[in-house]
Amino acid sequence: MKLISWIELPNLGDHRGSLVVVEANKSLPFEIKRLYYIFDSKPDTPRGFHAHHKLTQVAFCIQGKFKMVMDDGNEKQEVILDEPNKGLVIPSMVWHEMHDFSEDCIILVLADDYYNESDYIRNYDDFIKTLG
């Protein structure tokens, strides 16, 4: 499994400013069923710490920066998100954690399904057990 995968959206802006467009099933590999954003995160308070059984997401840092830790049970990788048109794919069954938020950080996340609490794995030991 390739742990880190990016979706890069073109900047369609001009002299007036930047413009980035996201289209379901075109620039993203799925239909968007849920969109949420994270802001006002504290730099020293990490977030995430879960995986999903089925959900696939793409996270864009549309302002500021933060660090994402991705873990598939065999390998951990850290990446910095700091480009508003470059989205990190968060596939199902990948534990992910967010750290080191800049004070101005705004994260936009697009998901391929609606919220479903039973899809979450919130305990790391349970995540490892689920992997078999």
Residues serving a catalytic function are 50
How far, in Å, CA of 12 to CA of 19, rounded? 5
* 84 residue type, one letter: P
Q: Which of 22, 55, 108, 78 is nearest to 7 (CA)?
A: 22
User: Which residues are registered as beta bridge partners of 35?
Assistant: 110
Can you read off the two tokens belonging to residue 101? 């938020």
